[in-house]
Structure formats: structure tokens, C-alpha cells
Amino acid sequence: MKIILTAVAAVVLLGIGGAIGRGQTPANTDVEPVAAAAAAPATVTVTTTITPPPATTITAPAPPPVTVTYTPPKPTGIGEGIYAVGSDIEPGRYKTEGGGRCYFARLKDDSGSFGAIIANNNLDGPGSVTVKKGEFFEVKGSCTWVKA
């Protein structure tokens, strides 16, 4: 028990002596107080990741349908020549405003023979004629015929 008490007393004395010696500077030590360094402005770098928003799909209504109406051009008329009715020209009524010497003939065929003439006429002014499918229509002169 003597040893334990001696050890405890030594520890207590050392603790007291250490507490007394703290805060005292030994006489042979030159210690100068350290001046506080001027605080430099701190540089902070922040790294962040920017994520774009997700794509947005906008659905617009379809434009209204466009209706296009085709109107075929009016025929400019037929001039000099022999036309097969049904293939070169449509059967039906044709008219002319005249305009000088104008000859027309309805023909059975395009042989050019006098016997092929069904009907013919010379016009000085307006006139009309009806041609049928299978016939030929001959036009001579300065008149233009249009389908009526």
C-alpha cells in the first residue's frame, strides 16, 4: 500500500507543478509575439453542373385542307385542217364568229373526193355546224371554230 500512495503523491505533485509552470516563460528563452498576418481575400471556386430542361414537344393542329378546283381552259378553237370527229375533236356543235372568207365541210372520210362531202358552206359572218362521231370536219380560211 505504501507503493500505491507514493505513486499517487508523485502524480499529484507533478500535476500541481505542471499547472504552476504553465503560462510562465523561462528566462533564457527569447520569445517574440507573432504578429497576425494580414488576411488575404479568399478565392473560392465553385463547380456546378447545369442540366438543361428536358425537351418539350408542342403539337399544333394540322392546317385545314386546301381545296383546289381545276377548270380546264376553254379551247382556243380549231383552224384550218381536217379533223376526225371523236378522236381529234369531240362530236357536237361548233360555231364561228366568221371574219372573212370561211369554208367548212362535214365529210364521210378524209379521201378528199367530192363524194365524201356530207354538207359544206362558205361563210362571211357567224355560223355553226353540228358534227357527229365517225365523220371528218374540214376547215379552210381565216375563221376559228369553237365548241358551243
Q: What is the pLDDT of residues 77-119, one digit of tens each?
A: 898 999 999 999 999 999 999 877 899 999 999 998 999 999 9
Strand order in the sheet with 145-147: 127-131, 92-96, 145-147
Highest mean pLDDT among 17-26, 37-46, 68-77: 68-77
Alpha helices per DSSP H over the chain: 2-21
Instruction: Return d(Cα 36, Cα 49) in angstroms, integer.
Output: 39
Give the tens place of pLDDT for each residue, 38-68.
566 677 777 778 888 888 888 888 889 988 8
Distance of CA 32 to the CA centre of its chain: 82
* Prediction pTM value: 0.50
Say which residues have a Cβ less than 8 Å from residue 22's Cβ, sequence separation at least 6: none
